[in-house]
């Protein structure tokens, strides 16, 4: 059994750790509220902007309209995966899930591209960057500063660079891999196609949603467009891509703070339980030491009597 001094030292050490984890939990909770409000405010705008873009693009699809951003039965020979992790740890499996998903895509869905050397990673977040660099994986680029004081304007150079690489045929497909925020305890691992915009994929998702809805009469409207539909699509595509990318960043930030708050809450509870166990062990050891001292005193007194 450990000495009383060693047990007291461990108790004090765990108490200090509990203070730290409790403080980190409160900090994460404060940051979560701000990040949650930001992402919940942006979601409806991004969704509606994307819906308008897809609807207008479909209306002129049969008229031979083409855009370098819209899928035209091209190949997926060269793929870029944008992985959004965090700059800091202590957030449970938040980062490891993203890294594992990226490697799973490389070894599964994009195995042929991976073997041919046509799969690259772009990391946002120090944890992802450090992992892929240390393992020697092909990094097209990284931007860890983007998660510090994130803003819409700050994210635009990255979007611009990715769009330019796509237009220049450096990549045939770009996907975003990130954690989507659901609540403080749940993060949804998400893979979204960023480029090209796939109208067929959008159509399949809408048909799936319609099957789950109640049957009803759908009204059709004839809109007058000003300027032309082609001009509207050309303006909406960059705007939609910028908003989609920024929303992914906000989703990841909110999910990170939620994951850290949950992890620190569990760590604080575990520290409390450990302190109780150590305190019980300390009391037992102290009681045993006192009993031994009493036995020694009694034995000494008996010896003097003899």
For the chain, domain boundaries: 32-199+223-259
pTM of the model: 0.86
Identify the pLDDT of residue 211. 56
C-beta of residue 144 within 8 angstroms of C-beta of residue 153? no
Torsion of the alpha carbons at 50, 56, 57 and 58, rounded to the nearest 10: 110
Q: Is 80 a catalytic residue?
A: no
Q: Is the pLDDT of residue 306 over 70?
A: no
Name the DSSP letter for residue 138.
-
Residue 231's Cβ-count burial label (10 Å; 0-12, 13-18, 19+) is: exposed
For residue 183, the SS3 value is: strand
Active-site annotation holder among 91, 99, 106, 176? 91
pLDDT category of residue 84 using cuts at 50, 70 and 90: very high
For the domain bounded by 32-199+223-259, which CATH number is listed?
A: 3.40.1380.10
Q: Give the span between the Cα atoms of 88 and 129, in whole angstroms.
A: 12
125: left (phi over 0), alpha (psi -120 to 50) or beta: left
Q: Is the pLDDT of residue 302 over 90?
A: no
Q: Is the pLDDT of residue 206 over 60?
A: no
């Amino acid at each position: 059994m450990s000495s009383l001094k060693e047990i007291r030292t461990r108790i004090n050490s765990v108490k200090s750790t509990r203070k730290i984890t409790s403080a980190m939990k409160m900090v994460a909770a404060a940051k979560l509220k701000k990040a949650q409000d930001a992402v919940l405010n942006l979601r409806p705008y991004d969704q509606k902007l994307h819906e308008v873009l897809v609807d207008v693009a479909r209306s002129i699809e049969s008229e031979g309209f083409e855009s370098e951003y819209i899928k035209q039965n091209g190949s997926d020979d060269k793929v870029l995966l944008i992985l959004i992790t965090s700059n800091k740890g202590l957030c449970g499996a938040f980062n490891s899930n993203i890294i594992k998903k990226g490697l799973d895509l490389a070894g599964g869905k994009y195995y042929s591209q991976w073997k041919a050397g046509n799969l690259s990673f772009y990391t946002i977040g120090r944890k992802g960057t450090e992992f892929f660099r240390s393992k020697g994986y092909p990094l097209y680029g990284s931007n860890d500063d983007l998660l510090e004081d994130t803003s819409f304007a700050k994210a635009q150079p990255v979007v611009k660079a990715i769009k330019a690489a796509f237009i220049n045929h450096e990549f045939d497909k770009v996907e975003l891999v990130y954690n989507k925020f659901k609540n403080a305890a749940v993060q949804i691992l998400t893979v979204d196609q960023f480029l090209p915009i796939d109208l067929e994929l959008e159509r399949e998702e809408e048909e799936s949603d319609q099957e789950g809805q109640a049957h009803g009469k759908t009204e059709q409207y004839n809109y007058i467009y000003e300027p032309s539909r082609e001009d509207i699509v050309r303006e909406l595509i960059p705007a939609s891509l910028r908003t989609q990318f920024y929303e992914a960043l906000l989703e990841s930030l909110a999910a990170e703070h939620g994951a850290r708050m949950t992890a620190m809450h569990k760590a604080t509870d575990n520290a409390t339980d450990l302190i109780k166990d150590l305190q019980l062990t300390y009391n037992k050891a102290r009681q045993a030491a006192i009993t031994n001292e009493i036995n020694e005193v009694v034995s000494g007194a008996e010896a003097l009597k003899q």
